Amino acid sequence: MPNPAVFSNYYESPAADPSAPEIWCYCDRPAYSPGDTLCLHVSTTAPRFDVEIARDTGELELRFERKGLTGKRHDTPADASVAGCGWPLAFELEIPRDWPSGGYRVTCRIDADGRPLEQHYLFVLRPGGGSRSGRLLLIAATGTWCAYNNWGGSNHYEGITGPNGDAYAPLLSLARPLARGFVALPGGAPRAALAAPPAPGEPVSYPHMQWAYANGYSKKYASAGWASYERHFVRWATKAGFEVDVASQYDLQLLPEVVEDYACLVFVGHDEYWSWEMRDTVDAWVDAGGRVARFAGNFLWQTRLEDDGRRQVCHKYRARDEDPLRASERVTTCWEAPEVGRPGSLTFGLDALRGVYAGWGGCVAFGAGGFPLYRPGHWAFEGTGLGYGDVLGAASRIFAYEVDGLDYVVRDGLPYPSDAAAVPDGLEILAVGLASNAEVARGVDVDELFLGSEDCAFRAAVLHGEVTPETMARAARGSGMIVNFRRGRGEVFHAGSVEWVAGLLRRDPQVERVTANVLRRFLNR
């Protein structure tokens, strides 16, 4: 059963009534190494609580349990989403050195009038010693988890901060619980992308938000988190015979040596928020011979980390007015902004500003659902049986809900980066679908649409220098792509869609084959 203090699916926080049964928890860090001490912070109205820690490979492997720990309720600051909860230590554990790398689910449980009440947290256990040969390193998108986590009132999208108490927060603390649905979900929970094109004339809808509201989950559960993305990849890859280690995205900045001795880094799902230093680590690693398999979308915002990685900064749309580093290349806005001058496409070949939405709400709702292929002879498509113009992943709806693209031109029926696109030499566009930054109302008032015009206006200002009806129309048009290129001694394959994992979850044989082709090649199998 959920905690009773879920006021709405906009955010969660403890109940004002100290007699209401509830429990919340978080770890002091998002990632650990074997031998580190895990510190668990808990606030509960129950006198006793239980803890379980299980490695999550799609199936739960129980590694630790402790029953009957002393519980206590602690006050939660009104600005907990920004400053952290500040709860005292409730439990600590030296992580055994023989625990394998992975995502670990922490479950805190109490008895609530005869029924169990649980709250989940997830930490990443980095790889310890031993050979890394033949193993994949999945980089969990912890920056995006933090950005969407609305526990305590605010995230990087909306909230209770600002002078009027109604604004998104540019500073977010990691010292707080994860919103319900980020760690665990029941089977059948809707994904952000539409499961099928709507019927002609059907109004715009957002099934995942409606389900979240009806079932007491965060409205952002389908936008970010282990449960919706990384977990599905780990489960598929493990069953397909790949050995997968996991590291936190923050490790790319705070512990960059974590990538050493791996042949292939993997990124999946919704992977939107990165720091300058994280990109430096990946760029240097590829130049030195590393290979990146990126089955992810929406590479958009630069962040900064503060307080030894315990706080994330991203001013986003307000960066030019509010960021203390607004005159610096480290200003926390999009990578394509002239003051930053480091287009995302230079790292992964694609960027979100030329995307973004497809198969979601009123954006390209009747689109192909998959990637239309232009270069089916590429090695990645071997064994799929697909030809020119065929669509990869249409049945499993992998082309959604946010995709990455480029400005491009078509010559003799084949797409090429335009002269304006900042891409590595030799980049090859393998597939192209259409995206949009403007919703089509379809029988509802435009004010009822979720997206609004803010994203489109921001893109118009960055890409075209001003916001006018003409630049808004240009900014509304986007694309999603699959690209491949070499840089230095390394190589990158980027299928630029948040929902690629839906093809693995739904066991789409052609999506599975492409994924396996990329991973095997990059592991030198």
Q: How far apart are CA 219 and CA 179, in angstroms?
A: 9
Q: How far apart are CA 162 and CA 392, in angstroms?
A: 44
Both tokens of 210, joined, read 């409606």
pLDDT of 9 reads 53
Handedness of CA 344, 350, 356, 360 (dihedral sign): negative
Give the number of other CB atoms < 10 A from CB of residue 413.
Answer: 8
Buried b vs exposed e over 479-494: b needs ≥16 C-beta within 10 Å? Answer: bbbbbbbebeebbbbb
**What is the mean predicted confidence (pLDDT) over 356-382?**
96
Dmax of the chain from CA atoms? 72
Residue 290: CB partners within 8 Å, gap ≥ 6? 259, 262, 263, 264, 265, 282, 490
Q: How far apart are CA 496 and CA 353, in angstroms?
A: 12
Q: How far apart are CA 230 and CA 240, in angstroms?
A: 15
Residue 495: CB partners within 8 Å, gap ≥ 6? 294, 295, 296, 371, 482, 514
519 and 263 Cβ atoms separated by less than 8 Å: no
310 and 84 Cβ atoms separated by less than 8 Å: yes
Q: How far is CA 354 from CA 42, 297, 406, 460, 461, in A?
A: 43, 11, 5, 11, 13
Q: Rounded mean pLDDT of the chain?
A: 95
pLDDT of 4 reads 43
**What is the mean predicted confidence (pLDDT) over 431-452?**
87
448-476 pLDDT tens trace = 888 888 899 999 999 999 999 999 999 99
Domains of the chain: 23-124 (2.60.40.1930)
Name the band, by pLDDT with cuts 50, 70 and 90, for residue 447. Answer: confident
Q: How far apart are CA 148 and CA 38, in angstroms?
A: 24
pLDDT of 11 reads 84
164-222 pLDDT tens trace = 999 999 999 999 999 999 999 999 999 999 999 999 888 899 999 999 999 999 999 99
Give the number of other CB atoms < 10 A from CB of residue 248.
Answer: 26
Residue 359: CB partners within 8 Å, gap ≥ 6? 193, 194, 365, 367, 369, 397, 399, 400, 401, 499
Phi, psi of 431 (to 5 degrees): -150, 150
**What is the mean predicted confidence (pLDDT) over 379-395?**
98
pLDDT of 366 reads 94
Name the band, by pLDDT with cuts 50, 70 and 90, for residue 3. Answer: low
Which range of 1-5, 276-280, 447-451 scores highest in mean pLDDT? It is 276-280
Q: How far apart are CA 59 and CA 525, in angstroms?
A: 27
Q: In percent, how much of the chain has pLDDT > 90? A: 90
pLDDT of 7 reads 41
pLDDT of 473 reads 95
Q: Give the predicted TM-score (pTM) of the model.
A: 0.96
Q: Scanning the structure block, which residue is given the tokens 């203390």?
A: 324
For residue 275, the cross-strand partners are 303
Give the number of other CB atoms < 10 A from CB of residue 399.
Answer: 35
Q: How far apart are CA 339 and CA 212, in angstroms?
A: 38
Both tokens of 354, joined, read 């030329």
Q: Is the peptide bond before 331 cis (omega within 30 degrees of 0)?
A: no
pLDDT of 93 reads 98
Q: How far apart are CA 364 and CA 357, in angstroms?
A: 7
Residue 6: CB partners within 8 Å, gap ≥ 6? 12, 180, 216
**What is the mean predicted confidence (pLDDT) over 151-173?**
93
The residue type at 342: R
53 and 120 Cβ atoms separated by less than 8 Å: no
Q: How far apart are CA 291 and CA 523, in angstroms?
A: 8
Counting every residue written for the chain, the total comes to 525
Both tokens of 29, joined, read 């860090």
Q: In percent, how much of the chain has pLDDT > 70? A: 98
Q: How far apart are CA 224 and CA 178, in angstroms?
A: 11
DSSP 298-355: ---EEEEEETTTTEEE--GGGHHHH-TTTTSTT-SSBTTSTTT---THHHHS-BGGG-
39-81 pLDDT tens trace = 999 999 999 999 999 999 999 999 999 999 999 999 999 999 9
Query: In which element (H, E) is residue 171 found?
Result: strand 171-173
